[in-house]
Amino acid sequence: MNYEFSDKVTGLQPSAIREILKFTADPEVISLAAGNPAPEAFPVNAIKEITSKLLETNPVAALQYSITEGYTPLRESVKKRISAQGCFDPDADELIITSGAQQANELSCKVMLNEGDTLICEAPSFIGSLNAFKSYNVDLVGVEMDEDGMNLEKLEAALKNAKKPKLIYTIPNFQNPTGLCTSLEKRKAIYALAKKYGVMILEDNPYGDIRFAGEDIPSIKSMDKDGIVIYSGTFSKTLAPGLRVGFVSAPKPVIQKIVVCKQVSDVHTNIMAQIICDEYLRNYDMDAHLKEIRGIYRHKCGLMLSEIDKNFSKKITVTRPEGGLFIWATLPDGCDMMSFCKTAVEKYKVAVVPGTAFLINESDKTNSFRLNFSTPTDEQLVTGCEILGKLSKEMFG
C-alpha cells in the first residue's frame, strides 16, 4: 500500500536529537545530549508514601475515569501556588491540568491558529514545541535571540510582516536550548508589542522553579492586564517527568476551548499522577524540596562550566545560565560544528546535540551545540568535558 499521509505530518521528521540519542543507548557513550532532570532530584520517598496510602485508602478514585479539567484539588493547589507568582487571576483566568506542558503548548496552538497562520518563536527554540506547532501546518517565524531574549527589532518586523501572526511563543526562563533568560525590560517590551499587534503570547515556563542563581524575574503572565497571555508549567522538572503532569493558566474563554481539545486528545491526565502531585503540594514542603534540587543543579552547572573553562578550545564561547538544564556552546565562523558533534559521538563516545536541531528548519545554519548538565553524573560531566575539550583543541586550536 502506498500510504498518503496528511500534509500536517508529511513534513514532520523525527528530529536530529533522536538520531543522536540512538547513540546514547550504547552504555559506553557519555550523554550530554539529554534533557532529563537529575534522578537524584526525584522525591522518591514521598511519592512512595503517597502512592501506598492512596491505593490503600481510596483506590477507586485513583483508577476510575476522571474529569478532563483535571483533579479538582490539584487545580486548587496549583492556582494557589501560581497566584502567588502573579500567574493566575481568579477573575480573568482558569487553570487546567495537562499531560505535561507539551500538551498545554500543543493545544494552545491548536485552539488559536488555523493552517497558514503565523506563530512567532525564539530562534533557536525547544524542538518539541516547534514540532507540535508544525504539526498544525502553521507558519513558523523565528526571531533571533540576544543575550537578554528575543531581538525586539526583529520581533516587531516579524509582527509587521508575517501573514496573520496569532501567537508569540517564548520560554523566558533558562530557555531550551540556550539557557538564556529574557530580561524584565524585554518581557515588558514583548508584552507591549503583542498588545500593539493584537497577538497572544504563549509563555512556557518549565524551568522557572529551578533558578539556582540571581533573582527571579516577573513572568510575562504577571503583566497580563489584557487577557492575552497563555501560561504553561509542569511538574516534570520539580517532581518527576514520568508522571506527565503539567498545567495551563489562561483567560477563561481560551481555557474552555483547550478543555474541549484535551477531551478529544486523552480524555484526562493519568489520575494517580495528579493525586500524587496534589498530595505532595499539600502535605510535603515543596519549597524545601526546590531549595534542595536547586542545589543539585547549581553544583552540576558550576562543575560543567569550570570543566569547560579548563578544557575547551578558547574559540568556543558558552552561555552561563542561572537556572534550567542547558548550556549553549558556540563555535566561531569557519569551524564545522556538525563535524565536531559527529566525531565526538562516533569516535569518542560523547554525545551533544547539534544546534540545528533547534532551528525551524534543520537545514538552516548555526554554529552552536547544546550541552546538558542535569542528567550525567559528576564523573561523566568531567570526563565528557575533558574529551570534548581535547577534540575541540585538535579541531579548532
Site for a second copy in 123-152 (CB under 8 A): 128, 131-132, 135
Which three three-digit cell numbers place residue 109? Answer: 496552538
Q: DSSP state, 132?
A: H
Contact status: 317 vs a second copy (CB under 8 A): no
**What contacts 307, CB < 8 A, 6 or more positions away?**
381, 382, 385, 386, 389
* Binding range to a second copy, per CB under 8 A, among 9-17, 154-162, 209-217, 358-366: 9-17
Q: Give residues 96-125 in contact with a second copy (rule: CB under 8 A).
A: 99-100, 102-103, 106, 110-115, 117
Selected from 6, 57, 379, 397, the binder of a second copy by CB under 8 A is 6
CB of 185 to a second copy, least distance (A): 24
Q: DSSP state, 355?
A: G
Contact status: 5 vs a second copy (CB under 8 A): yes
Q: Give residues 231-290 in contact with a second copy (rule: CB under 8 A).
A: 236, 240-244, 251, 253-254, 257, 259-261, 263-273
Return the beta strands (E) in the chain as ranges: 30-31, 93-98, 118-123, 139-146, 149-150, 165-170, 200-204, 229-234, 246-251, 317-318, 326-330, 350-351, 353-354, 368-372
Contact status: 7 vs a second copy (CB under 8 A): yes
Contact status: 24 vs a second copy (CB under 8 A): no
CA dihedral 127, 131, 137, 142 (to 10 degrees): 0
Contact status: 192 vs a second copy (CB under 8 A): no
CB of 226 to a second copy, least distance (A): 6
Of 17 and 388, nearer to a second copy (C-beta) is: 17
Whether 210 contacts 294, CB under 8 Å: yes
Q: Give residues 35-94 in contact with a second copy (rule: CB under 8 A).
A: 35-37, 39, 42, 44, 47-48, 51-52, 55-56, 59-60, 62-66
CB of 91 to a second copy, least distance (A): 14
3-state secondary structure at position 330: strand
Residue 227 and residue 191: Cα distance in Å, rounded? 11
CB of 296 to a second copy, least distance (A): 14
Whether 247 contacts 278, CB under 8 Å: no
